Structure 1
Amino acid sequence: MQHLSIFPILIPLLFGAIMLLPPISRDASSQRIASIIGTLFIMLSSAGLLFQVATEGVQIYALGGWQAPFGIALVADKVSSLMVLLTGFLSFAIMLYAVSGQDKGGAYFHPLFMFQIMGINGAFLTGDIFNLFVFFEVLLIASYALLIHAGGKQKTQAALHYVILNLVGSSLFLFGLGILYGTLGTLNMADMAVKVGQLEGETATLAKTGALLLLVVFGLKAAMLPMHFWLPKTYASASAPVAALFAIMTKVGVYSIFRVYTVIFGESAGELANIATPWLWPLALLTIAIGTIGVFASPGIKTLSANLVIISSGSLLACAAINSEEATSAALYYMVHSTLASAGLFLLADLMARQRGKAEDRFVRSRPFVQPRLMGFGFAILALSLVGMPPLSGFVGKVMILQSTQSNAQTMWLWPLILIGSLAALIAFSRAGTTLFWRHNGSVAAEAEPAKPSEVAGIVLLLLASPLLVLFGGDVSEFTQQAAHYLHDINASAYALLPGVAP
């Protein structure tokens, strides 16, 4: 089906627009039904797109019939289609959780949720770096409003910091794009990859400035040190469905780094080849280190989850710095695992907080859970997965990352940090489990309510992802290896997408 590439963008756009119109906009039940149907359609169309790419190869969708590099093109390859399917599955699981009542805190939750999905999918599928900026703005504008969903002083303060930082990032993005367009005469990623190797002298230096400005922007989105400080408070203060959706937001930044600095500024970029590596490597290691410290210092489950997102971002950025097919394959596998596991923990933390009374998610004595077995089972699965213990997907992903190191120096620096980060997570989860499940005062809180069936269904879907990633690990890792090979092959990721251009 030739139009399948645009469905993951078009479906959330249409559903979001429809839910803004009466009578659906005035009826909460209709909005919930529409959101469940919409996210289900997004997930199914994303799965169909992945199957089409796997069987037929890269799909190029030229809007208006204008071929690259002159028109706006969507490129569905194995990397982007995998990320789009990840977004579709995540959004469906989160929406199952949200329709139980988490969407009541403010107006327009469902349309904003759809618009953010549209922006995320667009960022993954676009073949033009200017439209990457456009989709960044779409998802960011939706995230600004979603962050203050349900209100409160803490949410407003976190949202203010988040908005200011991202407005600065958007300005830098435009400056970088202007410089690159002035030196290359194009913003189509494949065309940029072909032309960047021809730059020399002052023009190459100017293009390098633009490329490094983009690295700052993508690093901000990916929570790379020193631009990570906004994440823990922002994620911990957001409502549970929003925080779970935000688990993929940092992955958009990481994906952009892989796409831009592997395809455009990769091995074939001449004087600008691998310009991001000298910056990415030390900053990635420091990001893992600061995330590890944050894990030790976390006062509650939500903050712990946010700091684990920082560690996962640092691990993925280290793979980008290694810049090999093996590292990229490991990063893609680990990206899927960490996104789903982190989102599951944010949702579970919300259930725990609601059943513990005034203690909420903090590591202090509290009343016992209404459903201790459900909470304990979910907590154990997610903890083992995020720590990286066998036989769950976190172990497989971390082993793949460790095996991707190419030199003794890389091994000496990355292995201890990854292992110490896992140890820190193990200690933090052990402390959390001891407090949450064994240190109780009194009886069950009077205001505590058991989890609703749709909430349990959403969390169970995310819990099942980890064992399934291991059960089908061979097929998944083979797919990620093929995706990584495509990304590192300039002939496939650039020349093949430009009609009439030969390598």
Structure 2
Amino acid sequence: MNHLVVIPILLPMLTALLIMLPPVHYSPWRRRLVSMVSTVLLLLVSVTLLFQILADGMTFYAVGNWVPPFGIIMVADLVSAIMLCLTAFLAVGAVFYGSAGEDERGSFFHPLFQFQLMGINGAFLTGDLFNLFVFFEVLLIASYALLIHAGGKNKTKAAVHYVVLNLTGSAIFLLALAVLYGSLGTLNIADMALKVADLPPDNQILVKVGGLMLLIVFGLKAAILPLQFWLPATYSSASAPVAALFAVMTKIGVYALLRVFTTIFGEQAGPLAGLATNLMWVFGLATLFLGALGVLASKDFRKLVANLVLVSVGSLVAMVAFQNTAANAAILYYTVHSTLICGALFLLADLIAIQRGKAGDRLVAARRVSQPVLLGGLFVFAAISVAGLPPFSGFIGKLMLLQAAVGSDKQFWLWSFLLLCSLMVLVGLSRAGSTLFWRVSGMQKADERALPLQVFAVFWLLSASILMMVFAGPLTELGFAGATQLGDVIQTIRTILPASGVSL
């Protein structure tokens, strides 16, 4: 077994416990130092695991040395490793920004932050659906507390909605697991893929019902129409570093859709192959269009960025419906790009709001920001990238999405929706930028300037767009390698269940 697989789960868990113990707990700078160092180490571990998988192939860790499909299993392939690297890279920016002072506006910011990282990483690594539920609960419990960090009426109201909806989703998740376990006798993803292929006709309807219930659960996590209404208010009310980390939360739902409906209900699933792809296609496009409308209609910058998250989610879910290597490779590249740029925009929105005084991030005339060149330059760079204009990563990501649809009967609809919504996003961002930086109704205050850690965090996240442009060749090859590995369900079964003798 490869013990490195469980380090992304154990490291943030142990870090959270360490921060809550004396003497670290009694010193703000000790808490910050331990949290920042641990997050950087998490990034290094994730990158190391990625290169190890590239060299040696998929690997797994069986907790307690139980032979799969029994016991708890953590599986690391290229897709999960890419998501681990994405989460760690995003977390570095968020924790550095929070350590500039935001962490002291409430209690236990850093332990909760690390516990949420533990849950997110566990969701990406787990090899069975029950432990996916467990890690969902870990990250959700931490996110409940992080959402109300620093207090306030808006945060509390958004948190109540967020908690109620996710508790409902958790109940549906458990019911779906019960139906699937009763029909298949297992919740190990590889074993489920094996058994779905030979499912008796009498059980097919139950497994189909269980799969559609999972679609509802993951659709709620990903914020797909009509389950998206909680996201704009929730993300816009959260503190900046929390909102930045939350940028990856919807991608967990997309990842779960990709993993379950490619591995379990993929080409090898017989009569259940392609389950829910038509639903994901329709609701993905609808979410994309609704998010673009939200960008145009937003009256404050934070809600605009939250609607940009919906735009990215809609694009990704629509691509999941294609169920092919090119589409899955585009999903991986665009997921990394959109998550990091939206995370940077949440941080940037906070810096702009602080310097605009009482107007905050509302798209109205206000006093001039103290650092118009710095913040304006960062805004223009982020806007160009997130809108998909050349030459940055957004253009490459959207080009991959468009190319994946070539020759398909869905090409016309995807191209039409994606290009129209990109134009709408560009118009919305142009309006927001002109309002935030040109509609001036007073003088700036010279003492309100971004702190070095805050500027570093924004630069760190935005640098990903440049890096993804410069190294577009190797990164797209990595995406195609991950998509190929994801689609090779037979090899996955053989790796995790070598005694199965599978010969599908």
Scaled to the shorter chain, the TM-score interval is over 0.9
SS of residue paired to 1:60: strand
CA drift of 1:433 comes to: 1.3
Question: Following superposition of structure 1 onto structure 2, how do residues 257-296 of structure 1 map, counting pairs within 5 Å?
Answer: 257-296=257-296
* TM superposition score normalised by structure 1: 0.98
Aligned to 2:472: 473
- 1:62 and 1:406 map into 2 onto residues whose CA distance is 41
Match in the other structure for 1:485: 484
Residue 478 of structure 1: how far off its partner (Å): 0.3
Matched, 1:499 2:492: no
Please tell me the residue identity of whatever aligns with 1:482.
A
Please give the secondary structure, in 1, of the residue aligned with 2:440. coil
Any idea what SS the aligned residue of 2:244 has? Answer: helix
The answer to whether the 8 Å contact 2:263/2:487 transfers is yes
Aligned partner of 2:370 in structure 1 is 370
**Letter of the structure 2 residue corresponding to residue 80 of structure 1:** S
The offset of 1:335, in angstroms, is 0.1
Q: Give per-residue Cα distances to partners, 1:205-235, cap 9 Å, x unaligned.
A: 0111111101100000001000000000000
Query: Counterpart of 1:322 in 2: which secondary structure?
Result: coil
Question: What do the CA deviations read for 1:5-59 (whole angstroms, capped 9, x no partner)?
Answer: 1111000000001112223222211111111111011111111111111111111
CA distance in 1, matches of 2:202, 2:373: 65
Question: Following the alignment from structure 2 to structure 1, what is the Cα–Cα distance between the partners of residues 305 and 396?
Answer: 20
Could you tell me which amino acid in structure 2 is paired with residue 312 of structure 1? S
- Could you tell me whether the CA contact under 8 Å between 2:58 and 2:495 is conserved in 1? no
Farther off after superposition, 429-438 or 324-333: 429-438
Other-structure match for 1:459: 458
1:173-221 CA distance string (max 9 Å, x none): 0000000000110111000000011113231101111111011000000
CA contact (8 A) 1:46 1:81 kept: yes
Q: Secondary structure at the match of 1:390?
A: coil
The answer to whether 1:6 aligns with 2:13 is: no
Unaligned stretches of 5+ residues in structure 1: none
Partner of 2:381: 381
Deviation at 1:467, TM superposition (A): 1.1
Once the two structures are TM-superposed, the CA of residue 160 in structure 1 deviates from its matched residue by 0.3
Q: Distance in 2 between matches of 1:239 and 1:346?
A: 9
Amino acid at match of 2:317: L
In 1, distance between residues paired with 2:191 and 2:76?
16
Q: 1:236–1:303: 8 Å Cα contact kept in structure 2?
A: yes
Aligned to 1:300: 300
Letter in 1 for 2:262: T
SS at match of 1:409: coil
Structure-1 residue corresponding to 2:69: 69
Structure 2 segments unaligned to the other structure (5+ residues): none
CA positional deviation for 1:346 = 0.2
1:406 deviates by 5.0
Which segment is superposed worse, 284-293 or 331-340?
284-293
1:485 maps to amino acid: T
- Where has structure 1 moved over 3 Å in runs of 4 or more? 406-409
SS in 2 for 1:369: coil
How do 1:429-440 and structure 2 match up within 5 A?
A: 429-440=429-440
Equivalent runs, 1:176-187 vs 2, <5 Å: 176-187=176-187
The one-letter amino acid of 1:311's match is: V
Q: Alpha-carbon deviation of 1:407?
A: 4.5
**Structure 2 Cα separation of the partners of residues 494 and 293 of structure 1:** 43
In 2, the alpha carbon distance for the partners of 1:406 and 1:75 equals: 33
CA contact (8 A) 1:200 1:271 kept: no
Is the 1:119–1:135 Cα contact (8 Å) retained in structure 2? Answer: yes
Q: Distance in 2 between matches of 1:479 and 1:209?
A: 35
In structure 2, give the amino acid aligned to 1:494.
I
Q: Distance in 1 between matches of 2:56 and 2:207?
A: 35
| TM superposition shift of 1:345 | 0.2
1:450, 1:406 → 2: CA distance? 48
Aligned mates of 1:425, 1:279 — CA distance in 2? 25
Give runs of aligned pairs for residues 19-418 of structure 1, distance below 5 A.
Answer: 19-407=19-407, 409-418=409-418
Does structure 1 conserve the Cα–Cα contact (< 8 Å) formed by 2:295 and 2:425? yes
Q: Counterpart amino acid of 1:479?
A: L
Shift of 1:408: 5.2
The 1-side partners of 2:147 and 2:26 are apart by 22
Identity across the alignment (%)? 53
- TM-score, L = length of structure 2: 0.98
Q: Distance in 2 between matches of 1:479 and 1:159?
A: 38
- What amino acid is aligned across from residue 143 of structure 1 in structure 2? S
Structure 2: which amino acid aligns with 1:488? G
Contact 1:63 1:71 (C-alpha < 8 Å) held by counterparts: yes
Contact 1:183 1:206 in 2 (8 A): yes
* Aligned mates of 1:454, 1:168 — CA distance in 2: 38
Equivalent residue letter for 1:202? D
* Contact map agreement 1:8 1:42 (CA 8 A) in 2: yes
